[in-house]
Amino acid sequence: MTDSRPIGVFDSGVGGLTVLRELRRQTPSERLLYIADLANFPYGPRPQADVRERALGIIDALTALDTKLVVIACNTATAAALDRARERFDIPVVGVIAPGAQAAVLTTRNGRIAVLSTEGTLRSQAYVHAIKEANPGVAVLGIAAPALVDIVEDGAADTPRADAALRLVLRDVVEWGADTLVLGCTHYPLLRAALRRVIRRRHIAVVDSAETTAARVRRILAVNRLAARAGRQGTLDLFVTDAPERFSETAARLFGETLGPPRMFMIGEPALRVVAER
């Protein structure tokens, strides 16, 4: 039994494309829909209630497009809306926090895990809860690094500007003695080149949730018999709520790949509606 319906993925900007890229790699037969909510970027500084309402509205729109599963490819939105989404919708909804937390617990050797995140994710304490659930004996240091999101969205992830911002942030991580660093925002994996330069020979393992989130999606598809027919060619449809040209330029710069022009999602009541611009 196979299921040809699409998988929905969303984030406030280009950061969720790190998860999307891994989904394309691990589930090549699937149809994927990606929404970048640039009209409300960034989510990090927004009140949790606002992010929750926004995320639930996007998931509502994705279910109206007959998606079989939704990935919240944003740590801030996962913290704000995942539990409520699982209560409200009758399809699987996957977040990015638990997979990253579990990977970090399996990675650390000295039991000290630092988490870089947005202000919203830090305030929620979602990573602390997820890590402690996996291993109560692990110590967690949370650090908000909102400037890194702007650096990525500006297409400056591999520049001296990124290096300088990371040096400032990682000073606390090194002084605290963490041996594992969780990239608690889907934008942050795009800073890996700068991270390598800044970390250098320090023995700090870097964990991001893209690979583990995609693996969880793959398992859910298999267990629930939701996977598309093996061997079929997967497809990708991109949507934005604002600034399609900026999205395309930034995505191409960061990923070295032209993903194709996105279509607009317009805000409507009670949810989003698609404007067909093919």
CB count within 10 Å of CB 145 equals 25
Q: What mean pLDDT comes out for the span 60-88?
A: 96
> Was domain 7-95+211-274 assigned CATH 3.40.50.970?
no
Q: Are 113 and 141 in contact (CB under 8 A)?
A: yes
Name the pLDDT band for 273 (thresholds 50, 70, 90): low
Look at residue 265 in the predicted model and tell me its pLDDT: 83
Cα angle, residue 227 at apex, residues 222 and 133 outer, rounded to 5°:
45
Q: What mean pLDDT comes out for the span 105-133?
A: 96
Helix pair 97-107, 75-88: axis angle to 10 deg = 120
CA distance 176 to 111: 12
CA distance 47 to 97: 19
Q: Could you give the 3-state DSSP secondary structure of residue 157?
A: coil
Q: What is the pTM of this model?
A: 0.89
Average pLDDT, the chain: 92
Q: Is 125 left (phi over 0), alpha (psi -120 to 50) or beta?
A: left
pLDDT exceeds 50 at position 8: yes
Spell out the residues 6+ positions from residue 244 whose beta carbon is closer than 8 angstroms to its own: 261, 262, 263, 264
> Was domain 97-209 assigned CATH 3.40.50.1860?
yes
Q: What mean pLDDT comes out for the span 103-123?
A: 95
pLDDT exceeds 80 at position 269: no
pLDDT exceeds 60 at position 271: no
Q: Are 193 and 125 in contact (CB under 8 A)?
A: no
Residue type, 200: R
Q: What mean pLDDT comes out for the span 132-152?
A: 95
User: Which of 43-52, 176-185, 190-199, 245-254 comes out lowest in average pLDDT?
Assistant: 245-254
Q: Domain limits of the chain?
A: 7-95+211-274, 97-209
User: Which of 29-38, 48-57, 259-268 comes out lowest in average pLDDT?
Assistant: 259-268
Task: Identify the CA nearest to 2 among candidates 277, 240, 255, 227.
Answer: 227
Q: Tell me which of 252 and 96 has the higher pLDDT.
A: 96
Both structure tokens of 172: 């606390």
Catalytic residues: 74, 185
Q: Are 100 and 209 in contact (CB under 8 A)?
A: yes
In the chain, pLDDT over 90 holds for what percent of residues? 84
Query: Would the CATH topology of 7-95+211-274 be identical to that of 97-209?
Result: yes
Task: Identify the CA nearest to 72 among candidates 100, 106, 35.
Answer: 35
Residue with the two structure tokens 């991580």: 173
Look at residue 254 in the predicted model and tell me its pLDDT: 75
Q: What mean pLDDT comes out for the span 22-46?
A: 95
User: Which of 16-30, 36-50, 250-264 comes out lowest in average pLDDT?
Assistant: 250-264
pLDDT tens readout for residues 160-192: 999 999 999 999 999 999 999 999 999 999 999
Spell out the residues 6+ positions from residue 170 whose beta carbon is closer than 8 angstroms to its own: 181, 198, 199
